[in-house]
């Protein structure tokens, strides 16, 4: 039974304040995945390119819970990003979705939707990180495990889009794989620090370190206006806002 529309404003606000983790702290060594050094990964990717290997075949080593990739070709130049014509899609392919213009302690949003709905690529791009297992432990310091099962992509517009608390990651979705706007990435759920409520945590950010920078990846730009546009079939782009945040913050969240 779909109960989303019957949720009161107070219920949604309470989940937004309680779920997805706070702004401070870091995961404990026992629970935090070990991410690939972006510099070393980039050098590796350049070597692979010299051998004419396709980008989709290049993956960086990672822990069992999180896969990462730092393909040098995945990130378009800044001058190209602004001119790249991309198509945007609302990240949840479902008729019954609620979301808020606020979030607990940092810019992101929670899209409240039934478990098992389709989480799709916001735009065309390359998969950056994938978490395939739920390693979140309640009470542990905030860290990348808060998201449970998750997928992040770097769009052809140069922006990173991240969705978490998934119940399943679609087969074949792994670092370095090219995806199209609206392509299925996984199914919504309540893994990680979701307060036991089915929803999609959604974050927009610049790639910055590209893999492993979870404080940036979880969201630094308020998504509400973009989601509202995409839901209506509009094409409002976050490129300028993301570029402005990156310039002002030097990628420090």
Q: How far apart, in whole angstroms, are the C-alpha atoms of residue 224 and residue 68?
A: 27
pLDDT, tens digit, for every residue of 113-154?
999 999 999 999 999 999 999 999 999 999 999 999 999 999
Residue 124 lies in a domain: yes
Instruction: Return the pLDDT at 20.
Output: 62
pLDDT, tens digit, for every residue of 37-83? 333 344 444 444 444 444 443 333 333 345 544 333 444 444 344 44
In a domain, 8, yes or no: no
Residues 124/155, Cβ–Cβ less than 8 Å: yes
Classify residue 214: in a domain, yes or no.
Answer: yes
- When the pLDDT of each residue in the chain is averaged and rounded to a whole number, the result is 77
What's the residue count for the chain?
253
Expressed as residue numbers, the domain containing 144 is 28-249
Confirm whether 21 is domain-assigned.
no
CB 237 within 8 A of CB 89: no
Tokens of 27: 């995961």
Evaluate whether residue 119 is within a structural domain.
yes
10 in a structural domain? no
Is 39 among the domain residues? yes
Q: What percent of the chain has pLDDT over 70?
A: 67
CB 242 within 8 A of CB 206: yes
Please give the Cα distance from 240 to 251 (Å, whole number). 15
**pTM of the shown model:** 0.71
> Is there a contact between 151 and 169 (Cβ–Cβ < 8 Å)?
yes
| Total domains in the fold of the chain | 1
Inside any domain, residue 216: yes
Cα 71 to Cα 42: distance, rounded to the nearest angstrom = 6
As a whole number of Å, the end-to-end CA separation of the chain is: 39
């Amino acid at each position: 039974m779909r109960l989303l529309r019957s949720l009161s404003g107070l219920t949604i606000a309470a989940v937004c304040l309680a779920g997805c983790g706070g702004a401070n702290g870091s995961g404990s060594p026992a629970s935090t995945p070990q991410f690939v050094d972006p510099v070393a990964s980039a050098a590796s990717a350049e070597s692979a390119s010299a051998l004419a290997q396709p980008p989709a075949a290049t993956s960086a080593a990672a822990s069992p819970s999180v896969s990462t990739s730092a393909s040098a070709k995945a990130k378009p130049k800044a001058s190209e990003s602004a001119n790249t014509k991309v198509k945007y899609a609302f990240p949840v392919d479902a008729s019954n979705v609620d979301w808020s213009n606020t979030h607990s302690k940092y810019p992101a949003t929670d899209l409240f939707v039934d478990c098992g709905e389709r989480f799709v690529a916001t735009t065309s791009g390359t998969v950056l990180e994938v978490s395939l297992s739920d390693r979140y432990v309640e009470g542990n310091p905030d860290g990348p495990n808060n998201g449970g099962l998750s997928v992040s992509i770097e769009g052809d517009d140069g922006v990173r889009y991240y969705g978490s608390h998934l119940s399943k990651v679609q087969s074949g979705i792994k670092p370095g794989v090219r995806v199209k706007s609206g392509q299925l990435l996984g199914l919504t759920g309540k893994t990680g620090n979701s307060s036991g409520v089915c929803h999609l945590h959604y974050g927009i950010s610049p790639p910055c370190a590209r893999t492993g920078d979870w404080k940036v990846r979880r969201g630094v730009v308020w998504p509400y206006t973009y989601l509202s546009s995409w839901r209506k079939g509009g094409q409002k782009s976050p490129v300028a806002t993301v570029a402005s945040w990156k310039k002002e913050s030097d990628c420090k969240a």
